[in-house]
Amino acid sequence: MLMDATRSKLKQGRGVIEQYREYLPVSESTPIVSLDEGDTPLIYSSRLSKRIGRGCDVFVKNEGINPTCSFKDRGMTLAVSKAMEGKANAIICASTGNTSASAAAYAARAGISCVVILPAGKIASGKLLQAFACGAKIVAIDGNFDDALRIVREISERDDFIVVNSINPNRIAGQKTAAFEIVDVMGDAPDFHLLPLGNAGNITAYWTGYRQYQSRQRSTKLPAMIGFQAACAAPIFHDRIINKPETIASAIRIGNPASWKQARAAIAESSGAVDIIPDEEIVAAQIWLARHEGILVEPASAAAIAGFFKCCNSQEAAYSFKEIPEGRRIVCTVTGHGLKDPDVIMQRMGRVEPVAATVNDVRRAIGL
List residues near ligand F0G by CB under 6 A.
Answer: 70, 72, 95-99, 166, 196-202, 251-252, 298, 300-301, 335-336
Position 114: which residue type?
C
Q: Closest residue to ligand F0G, Cβ-based? A: 198
Residue closer to ligand F0G, measured from CB, 19 or 96? 96
Residue closer to ligand F0G, measured from CB, 34 or 301? 301
Residue closer to ligand F0G, measured from CB, 59 or 71? 71
Complete edge-to-edge strand list for the sheet that includes strand 113-119: 137-141, 113-119, 90-94, 162-163
Residue closer to ligand F0G, measured from CB, 81 or 175? 175
Q: What is the DSSP letter of 338?
A: G
Nearest to 70 by CA among 109, 32, 97, 88: 97
The span from the first CA to the last CA of the chain, in angstroms, equals 56
Smallest distance from ligand F0G to CB 330, Å:
18
Smallest distance from ligand F0G to CB 336, Å:
3
- The alpha helices in the chain, defined as continuous H runs, are 4-9, 15-19, 46-52, 72-85, 98-110, 125-133, 145-158, 169-175, 177-186, 201-215, 235-238, 260-269, 279-293, 299-313, 342-349, 359-366
Smallest distance from ligand F0G to CB 354, Å:
34
User: Cα-flanking dihedrals φ and ψ of residue 227, to 5°?
Assistant: -110, 150
Position 183: which residue type?
V
**Dist. CA 71–CA 342, nearest whole Å:** 18
For the purposes of burial, counting CB atoms within 10 Å of the CB of 97, is it exposed (0-12), middle (13-18) or buried (19 or more)? Answer: buried
Residue closer to ligand F0G, measured from CB, 224 or 282? 282
Position 221: which residue type?
K
For the purposes of burial, counting CB atoms within 10 Å of the CB of 180, is it exposed (0-12), middle (13-18) or buried (19 or more)? Answer: buried
Residue closer to ligand F0G, measured from CB, 104 or 324? 104
Smallest distance from ligand F0G to CB 300, Å:
4
Nearest to 271 by CA among 216, 334, 318: 318
DSSP letters, 175-191, are: HTHHHHHHHHHHSS--S
Residue closer to ligand F0G, measured from CB, 48 or 116? 116
Smallest distance from ligand F0G to CB 286, Å:
12
Smallest distance from ligand F0G to CB 251, Å:
3
- Which residues, at least 6 apart from 50, have a Cβ–Cβ distance to it below 8 Å? none
Smallest distance from ligand F0G to CB 84, Å:
22
Residue closer to ligand F0G, measured from CB, 17 or 118? 118
β-bridge partners, 274: 227
Smallest distance from ligand F0G to CB 53, Å:
28
Residue closer to ligand F0G, measured from CB, 198 or 307? 198
Smallest distance from ligand F0G to CB 206, Å:
9
Residue closer to ligand F0G, measured from CB, 128 or 200? 200
DSSP letters, 107-129, are: HHHHT-EEEEEEETT-S-HHHHH
Smallest distance from ligand F0G to CB 205, Å:
7
**Dist. CA 66–CA 56, nearest whole Å:** 28
